Amino acid sequence: MQPIERLVQRTLERDWGEEIFIVESPNYLGKILKMKKGTKGGLQYHVEKDEAFYLIDGRAIVRTDYGQGLVEITMNPGEGYRIPPGAIHQVEAVQDCTLIEWSTPHYDDRVHVEAKYGLPEAGGLPTTR
């Protein structure tokens, strides 16, 4: 019989706000992302990581590419998206935002693609590949 485990939070400061790790397990991660108005993460995709995010409050823009160039999607509270491996994505906070993120536990799995679109690298963490 396995005992339950108390969750221990840790917070990482980011250019765009803070990332609060709520749960880290060998199978999944659960985080709260607090993004400051006017900030954005990097335009990127993941090689293995499968993630989803859900907007609790604020308003954001999600950028993605369905194969014909970047498109912008307005994201309002109560909306969310699944980001499978290989899907280009970026979140920009139009207002201060709180998001919940769930993902597989693949750390340092991002590939920045700003250069592909002629954009300067923005926010998030540096390219690791």
The residues of the chain scoring below 70 in pLDDT are: 123-129
The domain segmentation of the chain, as residue ranges, is 10-117
User: In this structure, what token pair is assigned to residue 27?
Assistant: 């199978």
* Structure tokens that stand for 1 in this block: 């019989």
pTM (two decimals):
0.90
| Distance in angstroms (rounded) separating the CA atoms of residues 40 and 50 | 20
| CATH T-level fold of 10-117 | Jelly Rolls (2.60.120)
b/e per residue 112-129 (b: at least 16 CB within 10 A): bbbeeeeeeebbbbeeee
Contact 114, 65 (CB under 8 A): no
pLDDT of residue 121: 79
Contact 105, 80 (CB under 8 A): no
